[in-house]
Structure 1
Amino acid sequence: MTVRNLDYLLKPKSIALIGASRKPKTIGAVVARNLFNAGFDGPIMPVSAQDRSIEGVLCYPSVEALPITPDLAVICTAPETVPDLIRQLGERGTKAAIVISSGFGEMGPEGKALEQQVLDAARPHLLRVAGPNCLGMMVPGIGLNASFAHVNALKGDIALIAQSGAVVTSIVDWATSRRVGFSHLVSLGGMADVDFGDLLDYMAADQHTRAICLYVEAITEARKFMSAARAAARQKPVIVIRSGRSDEAAKAATSHTGALAGHDDVYDAAFRRAGMLRVVELDELFDAVETLAMGVQITGDRLAIVTNGGGIGIMATDMLIEEGGKLASIDEAVMEKLNAVLPPTWSRCNPVDIIGDAPAKRYADALGTLLGSRSHDGILVINCPVALSESTEAAQAVVDTLKGKKHQVLTSWLGDGSAQDARHLFAANRIPTYETPNKAVRAFMHMVRYRKNQELLMETPASTPEQFKVDEKAARTVIDAAIAEGRGWLSEFEAKQVLEAYDIPVVETLKAATPDEAADAARRIGKPVALKILSVDIIHKSDIGGVQLHIKTPEEVRAKAVAMLDRIRAIKPDARIEGFTVQAMASKPGAHELIVGMADDPLFGPVLLFGQGGTSVEVVQDKALGLPPLNTNLAREMMSRTRVWKLLQGYRDRPPAAIDQIALTLIKISQMITDIAEIVELDINPLLADDAGVLALDARIKVAVPTVQPGTRRLAIRPYPKKLEERVKLNDGREYLLRPVRPEDEPIVHRMFEKMTPEDIRLRFFAPMKRLSHQMAARLTQIDYDREMAVVAVAPNEDGREELYGIVRIAADPDNQKAEYAVMVRSDMKGKGLGYVLMTRIINYARSRGIGEVYGEVLRENTTMLGMCHELGFTRKENRDEPGVVEVTIKM
């Protein structure tokens, strides 16, 4: 399930509190007090066998005795009673329950079994369960506080979803003092049913929620989470904090939540790929919430700083540079204006030090001047308390200067008592304010990183560098043979055969069974060689002297091979030795040693690795992780997060490395592990890279029969579904390729739009449009194949370039019950049957996915579309809210 019946959980009209109590300091008493005193406008029915009334309201002895069926039940009873209570509620027609009680999955196998009983009791009735072992939840907009929190949250437009109830109460306490409000606060607890994915889907569509904050210890279903997170992040800001970054903390998180905690750097890669902003500390989350609550929009990383304390300005600058931001320059025109309003002793640079005696007017003049400049992306205004001026007056000057203007201004008024009034003034006027300049700079950089993640979601990759040939059959032959023999690791020679099948350049390598054969192989190569032991039992060959480099003659090869055999047999007498590999020494002087790899995460599935390689790779620890599938933009972004990235750009007399070829190697590995589920671990180290290209010197591949999630289901993000490609002939006799849309299709979507008549555009989009925006075109082409599908019809034009002639798409709801369709055919393709073919294909696809209904909206005057819908079996009805619009529906 996903959002099904969540309205009953988050927008109930009636509530039953089971386990209500009058006994002081019990959960039943605290939840009752909160429920009855938060302003909920609906019946609240306490259920208690001990008390006659609670909060002046008559109690009921059991679920059967309730006078009406509650939308939502809040359960605070002993854990062993919960399964039967859920059964009773389900039979009565209740659709949602919050289980605050603990004693379930976090208690081990017996608790897990009890939790499963709860789910089994709920499932036949589609009753949604939040918890167990949770604080509860609050929806301030409807006066709902079904929690045992110590304070009611204020009404606002930020949703907070957290596994930890303590985090929820801490944030509510902090937010209340700062007048920050929430649309929802939900404590998920054990996440037996309702989880992050469900609530992200719900909050993304909630019109009262402008931003979403997550506190994550562990997630459950990776693909569901990624789909929901990517969808939500496209619509509104999503900020996430995750505990359990160290191995020790991860173990603690497991015992606390009853869920498995994954590796933190994998979580980090997942959050980034989803377009979310990750923060590390709880106070960072508070600061990020502050920024979001005030609606600041940051568009770049250049910061201007206005301060009455030079030293404080320099400290803020240090923080900015350390965080990866840039100090904005001050152009000549702005400099002249500042000279005119500031004293001669001002700093004449950024930070703009307006001197310690700065009165309110000087703040207003400096800020007003900078607001007119385009050389920055944000302004930080700092005030240090001094006896010569009043800090509250300076704050009022900032507020007055910003009134009626769109701005990207953050403030930091230092001090305690002297700054409190100024901070309240900023909060009342929705201007972000922070206790220290470092926190303000960090908040600015949060927004910078969030913007970059959003751009990555919407950025169109180039298509040409990603073309390469694949021989999947050859790779599978090698892997299947190893699995048939019961081997987990391929030999180096086999691993390189797999790489070659995916068009990854490898150094020339020959096999040799004996020292004599090794000498003959060296003679055939005819230049200095590397000699390596060949054994499926020896993974790290150099650790035991199984690698010899720069051997010049065949005679030396024979001698070193004999010595190598003796040495290794002494160290690892049980190792199965097949012989040796002899490979030409790669002649790439000055090449960078990189590592490209893949590992299987228990939660997110295959994860890609890139970084600085060589024998010291574990010591250097320069790496970046990413989730497949990759395209050029995603590969380059992944590479840019490493230190070696700067070296690859070239320096001094060293030319830039072939960045596109390195990125393409990552894409090839991504394709390989997408195609072949049997690969569970892969390592190319080193991958040599210079300006001429890349070359794999050594490779290791581990294989196994997939058990948990076969095929592409093991991937956290569904890859391009190539099996949906097909060729069709239309009435004009021309052949077209029907295939799923790809992110790199945006340019041909724009070209197709240019060939549409204004009337066809109006009929399709219900309004005239002169051009298709990048955002809209990206939304059409960058889809989540797990929830949406768009099929395009393409064919080469007279110049051989691929052209787009039609596109059809469906977007399913998170429950896969209904999907909305949209279709567009190029104006000069009318009457050739393309629209009918596209609609038939997408209906068949919807049926294969188990979608129950496909629907759409059509202008009444669009008789061609209405006629086609009738022919395809759609029913129609008039839209009462929008005259002139017809709703068409087909049941699957």
Structure 2
Amino acid sequence: MTIRNLDRLFKPSSIALIGASRQPQSIGQVVARNLFNAGFDGPIMPVNPHERSIEGVLAYNSVAALPLTPDLAVIATPPQTIPGLIAELGERGTKAAVVITAGFAEMGEDGRKLQQQVLDAARPHLLRVVGPNCLGVMVPARGVNAGFAHLPPLKGDIALVAQSGAVVTSILDWANARGIGFSHLVSLGGMADVDFGDMLDYLAQDPNVRAILLYVEAITHARKFMSAARAAARAKPVIVIKAGRSDEAAKAASSHTGALAGADAVYDAAFRRAGMLRVSELDELFDAVETLATGVQIKGDRLAILTNGGGIGVLATDALVGQGGRLAALAPETIEKLGRVLPPTWSHGNPVDIIGDASGKRYADALGILLEDPGCDAVLVMNCPTAVADSVDAADAVVSVLKAKGNKRTPVLTSWLGETAAAEARRQFAKQRIPDYHTPNQAVRAFMHLVRYRKNQELLMETPPSVPEQFDVDMAVARRQIDEALTTGCDWLSEYQAKEVLRAYGIPCVQTVTAATPAEAERAARRLGGRIALKILSPDITHKSDLGGVALNLAPNQVWAEAEAMLERVRSFMPTARIEGFTVQEMAHRPDAHELIVGMIDDVLFGPVILFGAGGTGVEVVADKELGLPPLNMNLAREMMSRTRIHRLLLGYRSRPKADLDAIALSLIKVSQLVTDFPEIVELDINPLFADDKGVLALDARIKVAPPKMEGSRRLSIRPYPKKLEQTVRLRDGREFLIRPIRPEDEPLIHDMVAHTSLEDLRLRFFAPMKRLSHQLAARLTQIDYGREMALVAERPDDETGEPAIHGTVRITADPDNERAEYAVLVRSDMKGKGLGYVMMTRILDYARMRGIKEVFGEVLRENTTMLAMCRELGFTQHDNPDDPGVMEVSYRVPKPAGE
């Protein structure tokens, strides 16, 4: 990930347009017109060897003839000329280029080679390239309109990044008509260099950007994208629309999981995990833009509906319930207050129907009361035109109430139906930044956008509980089964091997033995006793029941005959299949158990993806499933489960007890850990996984393996907990501490550490008086992206309670270019002067060297003499802060790793 030189792209001091033209309606002519008429405060230098001037400005016949080096070059020349132009610009010192020209990777192998030549020419000069095959870049506040859109954008604080130029122009046209402006409009095109990850990193840091909109056709670097998206979504709203919902990956899948986990569902899981809001259609994106442009924020999902028409109130209610929302339950005092100001025929409930002749005063009275109800998280005010009341008067009343209430009030959305009668009302709402929608369904959909976005944000900030039980892992057993399959050339582990792998990770499995012959199968059945399940054992058969390869509820004395009959059935269906015998297992008698599926596929882009849902033989038909990206914790696992239909059954109903939800969630975590530890696993099915109030039990399991394409956890799109950084250290006083990376579930321990730290020490660390950390700050400190920052904690049981305790923490946060990282350190006050802070600083600087960071820096209060002395001892240089005489700036040049 990198934002290097993107300032030259979006904040250039000079621009060259190569391929500028005077030919009407040509791209070079449209780009020139847009550039010269956008108000850019700097030189714009057109390059065209055949024209004397462009837009009344002197033209230059070549890059070499330019009087100064442009920060940004916009190129609209034939594709074969681009590599040479990029090389020439790079040699002159240009650091950014927008390549509008098409004819590269989208044209096949020759185009891909040409695109690589462009990158090869740019790389030595660190020249950033947007495109090729793009509409261009627009930054209205800077007067930059480097593209061929049909009209200029308005200034605003919403950034739009899209692969499709047509989408950019469509949104631009729509937004201008509604007075919505943008901070940036970026058409990425072929994404040869600058991609979504780069843009998210850059825009997240821009204080002039309040929200980010993405139109995605494909992601290129999943881990880079996820890291940038999670960081951006913590800082500001990110809304995404993904084109292409095809499930080509499912066509070639050989497991239930593969068949269920289509490509679009994986993108959906990734967007949700990143904390972004996904919308499905372009008009939804428009609605979301309008909602964001008004700055509405909500705290819950309870909606009150105020309307002058019962019918549209019913339509809004149907839309709300259909999209998973809730009608707010009005408090008795709210009903009483409304009864005093409304006619007797009002609805006496939610929706609040104030009757068709409702005046502006009636709207104002009712809205004012609803805004005071603590059970309402938002109010939708609707109006349909009537001959006995004025729609504009009603709108004016709404505006007046909201002005009087100020910003600290319940959010309000509006829907004024009609066209002629509603036009002036909509203008009033737009002027006051009050969201308005043409139909009840659109208004409710916008409300649910806010609800889903809030839930995604809460998931980003929610502290996961500690795993309810510790599970031991026997990696040697799992390794032995996987290596044996790979050595013998088997893609699929046998059922017995698969269950051995699951047992090694603490997942309970029904007792299973293998038998080579029908006679051995019967002897095994007699040893197991009870009712028996008999299954064919073949590396060539994945769905055994489809070929008659499964027989259930057999008595031991029935097994021999059934095994012989099974052999005949399977051979008649698949005569070439290799038959290795049978698996014999005890029938699990758990009448209240639910049949679930837990699985994993290795997505071509996002890597391992975990699946959960309703299991059994009809799993593809029912298709009740959800996906999640590993690594998982208890919160993420439970959230996955909650989005399925079967989750409601797992909560218990009638005489059926509630299933052990913790055991189910823990099974998901164990599978997540398994596929993290073994990159050889490419598909996994546990189907069915029985779940009831007694726990879980795997009845059948299949695991597909292949030689790993990359080492360890690198295939994961979210970097997992880096266990290799764990280290035990001994201080001068003999006490030992475990130095390890911080985990999200450490938040309670961080609060405890702060409670053992003096107010003065906290002030020296946070530069402000502080008694405790807020949940938001503590979550931000513990829920880190290991790919872009690192925090180490010193853990040791508390001397008094014996409970786990954190005695110190140190962190570095790197810039997206991985060049510089800011450090911070804090130790409990009772640990000061014992060397713990020095040890932790040494460890984090070792990590910075391993990571390839070039400089570690920080700010230290001048009065913090202890920290300044430690910095000197560690080799930091110190100098005054020109903006604050009370602060010293310290920096450490990190030596290169050994061998470089």
- TM-score, normalisation: structure 1: 0.98
Give the aligned partner of residue 486 of structure 2.
483
Contact 2:247–2:262 (CA under 8 A) maintained in structure 1? no
Contact 2:69–2:94 (CA under 8 A) maintained in structure 1? yes
- Distance, in Å, in 1 between the alignment partners of 2:812 and 2:377 is 38
Contact 1:346–1:354 (CA under 8 A) maintained in structure 2? yes
Give the aligned partner of residue 447 of structure 2.
444
**CA offsets per residue over residues 580-619 of structure 1, 9 Å max, x none?**
1110000111210000000010000000000000000011
Cα distance change, pair 669–250 in 1 and its aligned pair in 2 (3 A): closer
Contact 2:69–2:92 (CA under 8 A) maintained in structure 1? yes
State which drifts further: 458-467 or 41-50: 458-467
- Distance, in Å, in 1 between the alignment partners of 2:397 and 2:325 is 27
Letter in 2 for 1:785: Y
State which drifts further: 824-833 or 241-250: 241-250
Deviation at 1:555, TM superposition (A): 2.4
- Distance, in Å, in 2 between the alignment partners of 1:262 and 1:819 is 39
Cα distance change, pair 322–716 in 1 and its aligned pair in 2 (3 A): same
Deviation at 1:250, TM superposition (A): 13
- Distance, in Å, in 1 between the alignment partners of 2:233 and 2:728 is 35
- Distance, in Å, in 2 between the alignment partners of 1:577 and 1:157 is 65
Contact 1:218–1:262 (CA under 8 A) maintained in structure 2? no
Q: 2:431 aligns with which of 428, 432, 435?
A: 428
Give the aligned partner of residue 785 of structure 2.
784
Contact 1:244–1:250 (CA under 8 A) maintained in structure 2? no
Deviation at 1:262, TM superposition (A): 8.3
Contact 1:243–1:249 (CA under 8 A) maintained in structure 2? no
Show the 5 A alignment for 1:709-720: 709-720=710-721
Give the aligned partner of residue 455 of structure 1.
458
**CA offsets per residue over residues 640-662 of structure 1, 9 Å max, x none?**
11111111000011011010000
User: Where do 4+ consecutive residues of structure 1 move more than 4 Å?
Assistant: 247-251
Deviation at 1:621, TM superposition (A): 0.6
Contact 1:466–1:631 (CA under 8 A) maintained in structure 2? no
Give the aligned partner of residue 841 of structure 1.
843
Contact 1:99–1:131 (CA under 8 A) maintained in structure 2? yes
Indicate whether 1:390 and 2:390 are aligned: yes
Give the aligned partner of residue 367 of structure 1.
367
Give the aligned partner of residue 418 of structure 1.
421
- Distance, in Å, in 2 between the alignment partners of 1:228 and 1:324 is 30
Q: Secondary structure at 1:176's aligned position in 2?
A: helix
Contact 2:467–2:634 (CA under 8 A) maintained in structure 1? no
- Distance, in Å, in 2 between the alignment partners of 1:813 and 1:401 is 45
Give the aligned partner of residue 641 of structure 2.
639
Indicate whether 1:567 and 2:569 are aligned: yes
Give the aligned partner of residue 589 of structure 2.
587
Give the aligned partner of residue 281 of structure 1.
281
Deviation at 1:248, TM superposition (A): 8.1
Letter in 1 for 2:466: S
Q: 2:580 aligns with which of 578, 581, 594?
A: 578
Q: Secondary structure at 1:89's aligned position in 2?
A: helix
- Distance, in Å, in 1 between the alignment partners of 2:520 and 2:332 is 74
Q: Secondary structure at 1:816's aligned position in 2?
A: coil
Cα distance change, pair 705–819 in 1 and its aligned pair in 2 (3 A): same
Give the aligned partner of residue 656 of structure 1.
658
- Distance, in Å, in 2 between the alignment partners of 1:796 and 1:787 is 29
- Distance, in Å, in 2 between the alignment partners of 1:161 and 1:296 is 22
Show the 5 A alignment for 1:150-299: 150-247=150-247, 263-299=263-299
**CA offsets per residue over residues 78-117 of structure 1, 9 Å max, x none?**
1111000000100000000000000001111111000000
- Distance, in Å, in 2 between the alignment partners of 1:572 and 1:384 is 67
Deviation at 1:390, TM superposition (A): 1.4
Contact 2:650–2:658 (CA under 8 A) maintained in structure 1? yes
What CA RMSD, in Å, does the superposition of the two structures yield over aligned residues? Answer: 1.3
Contact 1:262–1:603 (CA under 8 A) maintained in structure 2? no
Give the aligned partner of residue 257 of structure 1.
none
Indicate whether 1:526 and 2:529 are aligned: yes
Q: Secondary structure at 2:293's aligned position in 1?
A: helix
Letter in 2 for 1:869: C
**CA offsets per residue over residues 496-526 of structure 1, 9 Å max, x none?**
0100100000001111111111111111111
- Distance, in Å, in 2 between the alignment partners of 1:246 and 1:386 is 46
Amino-acid identity (%): 71
Deviation at 1:770, TM superposition (A): 1.7
Contact 1:134–1:187 (CA under 8 A) maintained in structure 2? yes
Contact 2:881–2:888 (CA under 8 A) maintained in structure 1? yes
Cα distance change, pair 592–217 in 1 and its aligned pair in 2 (3 A): same
Contact 1:412–1:440 (CA under 8 A) maintained in structure 2? yes
Q: Secondary structure at 2:468's aligned position in 1?
A: helix
State which drifts further: 793-802 or 204-213: 793-802
Q: 2:871 aligns with which of 866, 869, 872?
A: 869
Show the 5 A alignment for 1:817-836: 817-836=819-838
Letter in 1 for 2:785: D
Deviation at 1:466, TM superposition (A): 5.2
Q: 1:687 aligns with which of 680, 686, 689?
A: 689
Give the aligned partner of residue 753 of structure 2.
752
- Listed as ranges, the gaps of 5+ residues in structure 1 are 252-260
Letter in 2 for 1:634: L
State which drifts further: 313-322 or 339-348: 339-348
Deviation at 1:538, TM superposition (A): 1.1
Indicate whether 1:542 and 2:545 are aligned: yes
- Distance, in Å, in 1 between the alignment partners of 2:148 and 2:691 is 58
Letter in 2 for 1:339: G
Contact 2:3–2:201 (CA under 8 A) maintained in structure 1? yes
**CA offsets per residue over residues 738-764 of structure 1, 9 Å max, x none?**
110000000000011111111101100
Indicate whether 1:733 and 2:720 are aligned: no
**CA offsets per residue over residues 278-327 of structure 1, 9 Å max, x none?**
00011111111111111101110000000001000010000001111100
Deviation at 1:247, TM superposition (A): 4.3
Give the aligned partner of residue 343 of structure 1.
343
Give the aligned partner of residue 616 of structure 1.
618
- Distance, in Å, in 2 between the alignment partners of 1:168 and 1:444 is 25
Give the aligned partner of residue 412 of structure 2.
409
Give the aligned partner of residue 255 of structure 2.
none
Letter in 2 for 1:436: T
State which drifts further: 795-804 or 61-70: 795-804
Deviation at 1:336, TM superposition (A): 1.5
Q: Secondary structure at 1:510's aligned position in 2?
A: strand
Indicate whether 1:122 and 2:122 are aligned: yes
**CA offsets per residue over residues 113-145 of structure 1, 9 Å max, x none?**
000000000000000000000000110111111
